[in-house]
Every structure is written in structure tokens, then in C-alpha cells.
Chains A and B, each alone.
Chain A
Amino acid sequence: MNVAEISNPRELSSLELRGVIDTLYADYQGCLNEERFEDWPGFFTEDCLYKIVPRENFERGLPLATWLCESRGYLLDRVTAIRKTAVYAPRAIRRLYSGIRLLGWKSNTIEVRADYAAFETLLDEMTRVFNVGVYHDRIVFADGRPKFKEKICVFDSVLVPNSLIFPL
């Protein structure tokens, strides 16, 4: 399916819509796992909201995010940090997404939940579970392509193994 040419997403069959959304998540996962961070902001709308939030804050309604992006510009600034300003040991983070649930349309937005697990491999160390949680996503179609208007990563593990440098 050519996802670049969806002019009326509301008319897609549920099977077609699932195909589009599955492809979005596969592409997103590929982009991050292959460390093509420069391409990452392109998955989001200009006015997006992206957050990584410990479950304890999310469940208590506390507003603090471990990582807060209130526009695509914030995402670009995170990429600048990864590439230019942050000092950190080399690592590989591999993310796996599973159980993508389409909760339905709300106006022009598709609400989606998906579970994720991220694994971290540091120099001289065995691969370990790094961060596990659930995405609370809202997807819209802009210029015929699905984009994340909101992506809230709520993580179970609460205690971060030192540094959260790459996006989830």
C-alpha cells in the first residue's frame, strides 16, 4: 500500500487502516533501531506532543515527564543533543513494539495503544532490559501520511538504568 497517497483515511477499511498503522510502527521502529535519528522528527506533526513518563507520575496525574517535547522543534533539539552536545558511552538500544491496538477514531485522530520493550547494550556488558512500557498514541493524517500528533511513552520500570539518551 502506498501510504503517501491516502487522501481520505476515514474511508479505509479496517484491514487497510491496520495495514497503514502497522507500517507506521514498523517504519518508526526501523528508524530508531537503525539510529537514523535525523529522520525521527518526520514521524510527528509540527505541533506534536512527545513524552516519556514514569508510570508513577502518569497514574497520579503528576505533570512531570522525564522527557518532554512540545513541538517538532523540541524533537530536533533532542537530535542535536544526541549528535552534538551530550557526552555518553556508546550504546545500542533496540526497541520492539507489540500488540498495536486501534482504539478507534476521535474526530480526525486515531487513538492507538501499543506495548514496547527496549533493550540496551553497553560496551563490555550483556544486553539488558532497558525500558518497558506502553505507548498512548494519537495519529492524524497530514498530506496523506500518518503522523504522530501525540506519543506518550509510559514506562513501568520507573528506575532508569542511568541515562535515557535515545528516543523510544
Chain B
Amino acid sequence: MSLRLGVAILVTAGSAFAQIDLGGEWAATFHEDLQHRGGVRLGDYTGLPLNESGWRKAQSWDESARSTFERQCIPHVITYAMRGPANIRFSKIVDPVSGELQAYSLLGSYGRPRTIWMDGRDHPSDLAPHTWAGFSTGHWERNMLVVETTHIKTGWLLRNGAPTSDLATMTEYYTRYGNYLMLASFVNDPVYLDEPFIRTSNFVLSLTTSADAWGNCGPAQIIDELGGRPKGWVPHYLPGQTPHIQEFLDKSGVPAEAARGGAATTYPEYMAKLKKNDLDNHIFPPPAPGKSFPRVVSPQTSEVSGEITVLPVQGNVYLLAGAGANMTVQVGEDGVLLVDAGDGKATDKVIAAIRKLSNKPIRFIVDSNANPDHMGGNERLAALGRAPGGGRASDSAGPGAMVFAQEAVLAAVSAPSGQKALMPVGGWPTESYPDWKELSLNNEAIQIFHVPAAHSEGDSLVFFRRSDVIATGDIFVTTTFPVIDKGGSINGVIAGLNRIIEITIPKDWQEGGTRVIPGHGRICDEADVVEYRDMVTIIRDRVQDMIKKGMTLDQVKAARPTLEYDSRYGSDSGPWTTSMFIEAVYRNLSPK
């Protein structure tokens, strides 16, 4: 061996050993917070820096929700999993060619297997799907492995409904002290937390245990655990009707205010408040009049940046965002199909983005509703396309893509001869349907379903059967409360969301499988639609209950039936405010 080679080997070896070895099986120790791990009590949010939205959401949690079809296979989300009562296993993933460390695999604790990328890669686009484990990257600081995690599904901090939103992120520090491992984890969730939530969890190196992954939990394992409850049933407690809160207070002796958590309760000065009993011990204090719960700015900024973002979704289908409403693009040998055409303000960029995916002509455009941010680009994009030939004289191939929409959409944008229409005739649908339409393009069956009186009168869902992707239009969005337009209704939105949930099938562990492209926002799967459906159903049930009690619209607004969702979906200004949403729901549900 030459000197050069010898030195090279030793220098390389030095850098390879520059990390602390975390590899192996680690058994969790339970000498602290035992009652928040595993069998946590319902109503016990002590020590959690939950804000008012957070504890109110927690208080509406009904444990039966875990038994619904859509939640039976949900594993521990990463905002809780490492705290769960189980062991973990760290392993290295090494590049087989270079021998360099690529990632760590972290397994166990009833969560999904995690990959912690150590190769310097970026986190995905804000529009990419979220998962139970999230997307993690790591680096070393001194003796600590630092892990940053984003793209986490809506989840929880404890298994008693203490919530986290899909805007939560995590930072973790893994530090080895001899044969012990300490994990300091921070959850930052501006939607449901006053401040980042820190927990430190401890593990001991184990030579005898094994952090095995679970087997499979998928659609095949799901059974009816609720004895014939109707599909779409959303278990929850109406405000002030949660029985287990009082039960916890009685058994533990914890004052009601402290049981709700909150950052202030976690500092030493709170002990003086406890001593003086200077507390608000109403179990369900009413919302403070006029208190604002400002919207947490969603990271989904690409929609408003003016830049077009293209993301592969699955199979032949792509998301094209940034041109108004989301556009869905299906490409293949036969040509291009679009679901929605954007607002028309960035059509040059849209065309350039489509051309990067395919140089084939646009064959079909499907309008999921009549809104200008969905149809504004119709005229130019349709003109650019070329319709496929058909058997009838009227079906001849020629310039211009075919544009499909439900009948109400055509009625909304068109006008009889001599009258002014909402948009030029070149942007109108060329074909309309009352209830459904079937297409086939690029060796893929495509089903279009009309959902009556949902977001609007003429909403359609578009299901790409081979790619296993569904484009939902504005029946489902991840950016706002449902917009209830002319001809729409809250119950129609819920029916539409349940229809989406019927069509979608998760791969396993209630994630993956059928992908969902919302009208606005990020790529989703069934679990994300379930969260949104639950939220809309809970708000509907609350407003319905208030109407039954004879409350006026002003009283309903003052009772804040949307409170814990306002920071995520609400708005005090703009085209669709929280107040407008509550009013639409109230008027929908009020006896006519």
C-alpha cells in the first residue's frame, strides 16, 4: 500500500468516525410523564402549551373517533410517536457505492418508519404530501444529531385529542450519554400552541429488545367497530358537553384552568397562582367577545407567488399550482388533459409548464366549477388544443380542445344570443353533462362525478382510475373554510367530501394510495380529506345545535362555532371571511 493511499484511508476513516454512533436498539424509560404515555387520561392537558384553539379542539375530541373506518389504521403521528411507550432502533443507511452515510433509519414506537436524510437534500415543496412520519433531514452539532421534520399530517401531542395541525414542524436533538440516549424534541405549531413544546425522552441501549415495526394495517384489516354507525359519522362533543373533563378534574384534583394547559401554566410563577387559587376554573369558559384568532400564514405560498409550481402527483398526473386555482395535468401518448385552466392571468407560464411535461396537444379540459380562478384560462388553453376525432360529423378532429363541465357551469358562464355572458364564448364549455361523464385518454379511464349543491351548483370530481388520483375542485381545499357559492350548501359540501372519502383508498396505515388534488392547497390523501370533513361536519353540527336552541345569527357568530379552526382556515378580510362562512352555514341550515 502506498503512503498516499494509507493516508487517504486514515483521513477518510477519521471523517467517517466523526459522528457519534447512535446505531442499535434503544429501550424507552418511563420514569417521567408516565401518565402522558400510553394510557393518558381524557381531559388531562397539563403541561402542554396549548393555546385557546388547541384546548378547545382537544375538548371536543371523542375517543370513539379512533374506531371509525377512516381512523382505525392511523399509527402514532411523529409529534407523539417518539414519546410513545415503545422501543426504537437507529440504523445507518449507507450509499453502496461511496460508502458515505446517506441517512438514518429510525424505527419503532408505533410510528411509521422514519428516514432521516443526512445527504444535505432540501425539504420538499410546501405543496407536497404530508405523512404521519413527516420528512426529516439531519445534521450533527457537536455531540448531537439534530433532526428537522416538516410535512407532518394533522395529528396530536397526546392520545387524548391534544391537537397538532398540518403546519406543525419539529426539531429534535438526539444525544448519547454512554449507554443512554436523550431525545429533546420541540414541536412548533403556531395554530394550536402558545409556544414550541419541548419534551425530553430517555432511552437505554438494549441488547435484548427489538423495536419491530408493525405488520400491515390497511383497508383489508378495517372492520365495523361501531355497530352500524352510518358512513360519514363524525364523533365529537359539542362545546360544554364533554363528560370526561369533569371526571378528570374530580379524580386528579387538578384545577380546571391548569388542566387546559397553556404556556403560562408551565412556568414556576404559575405555582403562586395555584396557591392563591387565582384561576378561571370554569370548565368550559365562553369565548372572549371580540378576541381575534388570526390566520397562521400557510406555507403554501406558491399559490400567491405568481410562480408556477409543477409537482408529480402519481402515475400520469401532475399538479400545476400558481395560476389561480390548482390545475391537474394528465399527460401521455394521446395528449394532455387538464382539470381546470387557472385564472388566465398566467397562461403563458402555464403553457410553458405544460410543454415541459408534454409536447402533445391539449385534448380535453374539465372545469370543476364555474369560478373565474378555475375557468379564466379556458379560452386560450382550449384554443391551443386540438380535439380528437369522433364518429359523428360534429365530433370531427380539429382545432380547439373539448371543454367539459356540468350543466350549471355552462349556464353560469354563458348567455343567450344578444345578452352579455360572464366570459367570452371561446371560454365556454363545449360539452356539458347533468350527472356524470366518462373519458378515456392516455390508456386511462377517467370518471367525472357531479356533486350537487356543494361548493356551488355545478361542482365535479374528476377521478383518474389508473393513476389513482382525484381532482376535487373547490369541494375540498386545504387553505380556507369551504367557500359556499351560489347554489352551494354546507350539507352538499359534506356529501361531496364523503364522496371523495368513498372513492379514495389508502395504501396502508391510512396514508398514501389514492392521491387527492384539492381546488386550492397541497397534495393530499384520504386522511387529509377526513380531517377536513370532520372539521366541516363539527362546525355544521354546532351551528345546527345553536339553531335548534333558537339562537340568532349574531348569537351564533358570537358563540364562535369555528374558533379552533379559525387560525388555520379563517379570515377576517378578503373574498371569503369566517363571518361569511358562518352566515352561509346558518342560512343553509335554518328552516326555510
A and B part of one assembly: no
